């Protein structure tokens, strides 16, 4: 993480060596594997016993025989029934593996991406606690996964393992950059057994590694305190992505003067009270060879700290002490950019846009009742300075449309209403485009992240009308706050552009782990890849028609 020499509090992040874990899918019997920890994922059905008390499942039966009945004895003593979340680990001697773990899957193995990622996290916990250098994950019933899903299952588990072994919180996920002493992760090699093997699985595992790296980067950004990660530093991190992947990326960083020239009055009004200057970030990805068939934009809210302004956040529910997470949307954008810099999908041009600033309090700051003018000329009466994210996104969306894009997705920790409505694990999506909704839904099936579409009820716009300007920045009544926030953003998107708003206020942060989640990175990467692959499919279809 880059940092300024005069960081507030003299805090500078430690340089932490990035996690390097290699994943390989292999085709051997679990009992023949050699290494530190072998973990076997089992369902309740897998633990069924024959009349002579031996396992009916072939994998468990062979392992139990190899261990002289220790596995069946231990599972009985520990009352291990294969229920979801159950875990038992045995220390062994005289075997090719030093420890054997059983991970419960429940009644059956619902091998969705989300379930596989959860299994990867449990596996990571076993390997982490054992301080293992090598570990393997096997399925007691590999036939439970359909052949076509095995590559995705392996990749999802690889993602869960790589991400959650990086650092530990409450025994598992640890961010060591701001500790005087840090714990090392020992794991270097992971083998996946029973998930298939070959070029397609290898390709998905490589992709999972790239996505995991992007998610970890996104987590690091959100976890960084606001006295370290200022708007200028966030722009530096974006520029580093462009320089690292200079074959496909260019960076444009606009300072306050340039934003003023572009008439970004809505964005600049939010930034006006802070001693830390704003930075408008624009990364542009162009595919190798430059053959662009589709143009996309991903826009992220980039409030590196949000005090609420004169409508200051008060009370425990407002979580002012956690408002470093208010740039969670921008973290998803930049994390996705980093991953895509490695993957280099063909056919798509992608613009990654962040209007980064702080929302603070001073004599130069915007006041409730002020009227600001966005870069498309529309005027906004500010009736609440804590509804600032939409003001920054307004100018960012106008800018994105000017890039000539076909589709835009914005991600933002925009409303507490969405956390109330959908809880801590699900993001809300609002869009007038059914096609775009279907694309993101398909991407989320692969990523394992959870979304729920909310109605974009146009009649609610009546509550957003101002008596002295084109619009208010918050509704006259609090009900439907997620919807009115999205309707506000819609005023700054060209009608010809497909657009979706994603409110990530709930899932961007884990209160249980006291850490960022990296939410949104995986789905945005999958969305771009699906647009890239659909271009290739269209070209193949057209080519076939011409031949006919």
Class (C level, CATH) for 22-175+185-197: alpha beta
3.20.20.70, 3.30.70.1400, 3.40.228.10, 3.40.630.10: CATH of 213-367+381-459+478-490+498-533: 3.40.630.10
Cα–Cα distance between 222 and 325 in angstroms, integer? 5
Please identify which of the residues 99, 204, 338, 390 carries the catalytic annotation: 390
| CA atoms of 250 and 268, how far apart (whole Å) | 24
Instruction: Return left, alpha or beta for 101; rule: phi > 0 is left, psi -120 to 50 is alpha, else beta.
Output: beta
- Distance, in Å, from the CA atom of 199 to the CA atom of 207, rounded to the nearest integer, reads 12
- Is 428 in contact with 454 (CB distance < 8 Å)? yes
Tens-level pLDDT at each residue, the chain (548 residues):
544 445 688 888 887 766 677 888 888 999 999 999 999 999 998 888 877 667 888 999 999 999 999 998 888 888 888 898 888 999 998 899 999 999 998 887 656 767 777 788 888 888 888 889 999 999 888 776 666 667 777 777 766 655 544 332 222 335 678 877 766 667 888 898 988 778 878 888 888 889 888 998 999 999 999 999 999 999 999 999 999 999 999 999 999 999 999 999 999 999 999 999 999 999 999 999 889 999 999 999 999 999 999 999 987 778 899 999 999 999 999 999 999 999 999 999 999 999 999 999 999 999 999 999 999 999 999 999 999 999 999 999 999 999 999 999 999 999 999 999 999 999 999 999 999 999 999 999 888 899 999 999 999 999 999 999 999 999 877 789 999 999 999 999 999 999 999 999 999 999 988 899 999 999 999 999 999 988 766 555 555 443 32
Chain-centroid distance, C-alpha 141: 30
Which of 106-117 are b and which e, b meaning 16 or more Cβ less than 10 Å from the residue's Cβ?
A: beebebbbbbbb
CA dist 425 to 120, 317, 435, 444, 456, Å?
18, 17, 24, 13, 21
What are the start-end ranges of the E strands in 124-239?
134-139, 189-193
CB contact burial 329-357 (16+ within 10 A = b; e otherwise):
bbbbbbbbbbbbbbbebebbbbbbbbbbb
Judged by DSSP in three states, 104 sits in strand
pTM of the model: 0.88
- Residue 49 DSSP code: B
Do 241 and 341 touch, CB atoms closer than 8 A? yes
Task: Output the CA angle 394-397-402, nearest 5 degrees.
Answer: 130
The tokens describing 10, both together, are: 């003299």
Sequence spans of domains, the chain = 22-175+185-197, 213-367+381-459+478-490+498-533
According to the model, what pLDDT value does residue 174 have? 58
Q: Determine the pLDDT at residue 164.
A: 45
Q: Please indicate whether residue 313 is annotated as part of the active site.
A: yes
Q: Could you say which DSSP state residue 347 is in?
A: S
Six token digits for residue 251: 């960076």
- C-alpha 96/C-alpha 63 separation (Å) is 12
Beta strands in 406-495 (DSSP E): 407-412, 426-430, 450-453, 471-472
> What is residue 462's DSSP assignment?
G
317 burial level (CB within 10 Å; 0-12, 13-18, 19+): exposed
Bridge partners, residue 103, by sequence: 41, 87
Q: Say if residues 428 and 315 touch (Cβ distance below 8 Å).
A: no
**Beta-bridge partner residues of 279:** 356
Length of the chain, in residues = 548
Among residues 175, 178, 85, 164, the alpha carbon closest in space to that of 128 is found at: 164
pLDDT on residue 503: 98
281: number of Cβ within 10 Å: 28
> 3-class DSSP state for residue 380?
strand
| Angstrom distance (rounded) from CA 194 to CA 142 | 5
Report the distance separating Cα 322 and Cα 308, nearest Å: 12
- Supply 303's token pair: 């409030």
How many C-beta neighbours within 10 Å does residue 193 have?
Answer: 22
**What was the pLDDT predicted at 5?**
42
Q: Residue 373 burial (CB < 10 Å; 0-12/13-18/19+)? A: middle
Neighbours of 369 (CB within 10 A): 11
* Cα 346 to Cα 60, 409, 496, 534, distances in angstroms: 45, 19, 24, 11
Question: Distances from the Cα of 524 to the Cαs of 287, 353, 504, 506, in angstroms?
Answer: 17, 13, 13, 17
């Amino acid at each position: 993480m880059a940092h300024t020499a005069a960081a507030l509090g003299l805090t500078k992040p430690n340089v932490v060596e990035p996690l390097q874990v290699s994943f390989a899918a292999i085709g051997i019997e679990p009992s023949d594997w050699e290494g530190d920890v072998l973990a076997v994922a089992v369902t309740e059905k897998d633990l069924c016993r024959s009349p002579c008390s031996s396992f009916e499942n072939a994998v468990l039966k062979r392992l139990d025989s190899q261990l002289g009945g220790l596995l069946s004895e231990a599972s009985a003593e520990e009352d291990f029934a294969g229920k979801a979340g159950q875990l038992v680990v045995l220390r062994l001697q005289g075997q090719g593996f030093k420890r054997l773990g059983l991970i419960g899957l429940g009644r059956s193995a619902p091998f969705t991406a989300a379930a596989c990622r959860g299994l990867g996290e449990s596996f990571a916990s076993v390997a982490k606690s054992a301080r293992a250098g090598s570990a393997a994950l096997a399925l007691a019933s590999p036939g439970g996964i359909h052949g076509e899903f095995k590559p995705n299952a392996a990749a999802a588990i690889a993602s869960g393992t790589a991400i959650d072994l990086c650092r530990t919180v409450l025994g598992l996920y640890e961010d060591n950059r701001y500790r005087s002493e840090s714990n090392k992760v020992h794991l270097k090699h992971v083998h996946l057994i029973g998930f298939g093997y070959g070029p397609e699985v290898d390709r998905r595992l490589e992709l999972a590694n790239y996505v995991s790296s992007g998610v970890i980067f996104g987590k690091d950004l959100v976890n960084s305190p606001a006295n370290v990660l200022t708007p200028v530093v966030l722009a530096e991190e974006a520029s580093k992505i462009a320089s690292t992947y200079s074959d496909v990326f260019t960076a444009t960083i606009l300072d306050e003067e340039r934003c003023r020239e572009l008439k970004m009055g809505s964005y600049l009004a939010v930034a006006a009270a802070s001693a830390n200057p704003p930075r408008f970030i624009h990364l542009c990805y162009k595919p190798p060879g430059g053959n662009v068939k589709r143009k996309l934009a991903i826009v992220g809210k980039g409030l590196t700290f949000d005090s609420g302004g004169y409508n200051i956040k008060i009370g425990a529910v407002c979580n002012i002490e956690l408002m470093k997470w208010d740039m969670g949307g921008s973290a998803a954008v930049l994390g996705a950019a980093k991953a895509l810099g490695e993957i280099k999908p063909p056919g798509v041009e992608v613009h990654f846009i962040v209007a980064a600033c702080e929302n603070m309090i001073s004599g130069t700051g915007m006041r409730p009742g002020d009227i600001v003018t966005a870069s498309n000329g529309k005027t906004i009466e500010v009736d609440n300075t804590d509804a600032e994210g939409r003001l920054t996104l307004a100018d960012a969306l106008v800018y994105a449309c000017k890039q000539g894009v076909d589709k835009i997705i914005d991600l933002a920790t925009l409303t507490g209403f969405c956390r109330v409505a959908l809880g801590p694990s699900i993001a809300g999506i609002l869009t007038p485009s059914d096609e775009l909704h279907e694309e993101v839904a398909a991407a989320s099936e692969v990523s394992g992240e959870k979304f729920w579409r909310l109605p974009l009820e146009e009649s609610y716009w009546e509550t957003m009308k101002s008596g002295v300007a084109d619009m208010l920045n918050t509704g006259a009544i609090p009900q439907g706050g997620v919807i009115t926030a999205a309707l506000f953003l819609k005023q700054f998107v060209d009608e010809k552009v497909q657009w979706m708003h994603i409110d990530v206020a709930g899932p961007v942060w884990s209160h249980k782990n006291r850490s960022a989640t990296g939410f949104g990175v995986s789905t945005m990467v999958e969305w771009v890849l699906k647009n890239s692959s659909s271009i290739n499919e269209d070209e193949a279809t057209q080519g076939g028609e011409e031949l006919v």
